[in-house]
């Protein structure tokens, strides 16, 4: 079965949760420097006013987003409804608790799963129908080596990232069947 994808626009719109530092901030800067549009998100943009100013001065946009919120996918629905077409979703938001799984509380472990598995899942489920209509889609799930070789000090983090990796491997089947 072949899938026909449309040719991407020359200027893509990137939606990147978790842009205060690291890969998220680096990808934001690279995309902006290549004349793409970036919608960067943070849990609390007011804590990063310098970054907000930097990104907005280059035509980017900041939104507050808590990927743990069960309604976090609504931000994508609102953007698409307003005419913003998301071409690239980069699931980057994460954090780690440094604790062996036997000493981490269930609440802490669930927090890791919410941020690094269910949060990205909500965003993927929100954006894919729109991407499918446009016949162009790029979804990047940022992972970690810990998902392949769990470390005792970051067991919950490793488990959440391994779950995200597993979802990545399965995402092609629904696209092929429904495209």
Helical H segments across 34-85, by residue range: 49-57, 74-81
Phi first, then psi: what are they for 77, rounded to 5°?
-60, -45
pLDDT for res 148: 52
pLDDT value of position 177: 37
Among candidate residues 143, 147, 172, 179, the one labeled active-site is 143
- Whether 136 is catalytic is no
Neighbours of 21 (CB within 10 A): 10
In angstroms, the Cα distances linking 28 to 40, 87, 127 are 7, 14, 19
SS3 12: coil
Which residue among the candidates 72, 94, 147, 161 is catalytic per the annotation? 161
Is residue 161 flagged as an active site residue?
yes
What is the predicted pLDDT for the residue at 5? 53
Given CA atoms 145, 147, 151, 154 in this order, what sign does their dihedral have?
A: positive
Strand boundaries in 93-165, DSSP class E? 138-141
* CA separation for the pair 34, 11 (Å, rounded): 9
| Helix (H), strand (E) at residue 169 | helix 155-170
Q: Is there a catalytic annotation at residue 95? A: no
DSSP letter assigned to residue 179: -
pLDDT along the chain (179 residues), means of 10: 58 89 87 92 78 86 88 95 93 72 81 82 92 81 58 65 64 41
């Amino acid at each position: 079965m072949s899938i026909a994808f449309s040719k991407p626009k020359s200027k893509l719109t990137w939606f990147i949760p978790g842009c205060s530092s690291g890969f998220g901030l680096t990808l934001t800067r690279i995309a902006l420097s290549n004349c793409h549009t970036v919608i960067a998100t943070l849990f609390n943009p007011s804590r990063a006013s310098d970054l907000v100013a930097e990104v907005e001065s280059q035509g980017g946009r900041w939104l507050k987003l808590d990927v743990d919120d069960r309604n976090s996918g609504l931000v994508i629905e609102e953007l698409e409804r307003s005419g913003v077409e998301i071409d690239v979703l980069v699931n980057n938001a994460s954090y780690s608790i440094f604790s062996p799984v036997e000493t981490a509380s269930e609440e802490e472990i669930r927090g890791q799963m919410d941020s690094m598995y269910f949060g990205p899942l909500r965003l993927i489920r929100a954006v894919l129908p729109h991407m499918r209509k446009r016949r162009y889609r790029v979804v990047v799930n940022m992972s970690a080596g810990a998902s392949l070789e769990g470390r005792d000090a970051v067991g919950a983090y490793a488990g959440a990232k391994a779950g995200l990796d597993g979802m990545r491997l399965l995402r092609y089947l629904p696209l092929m069947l429904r495209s």
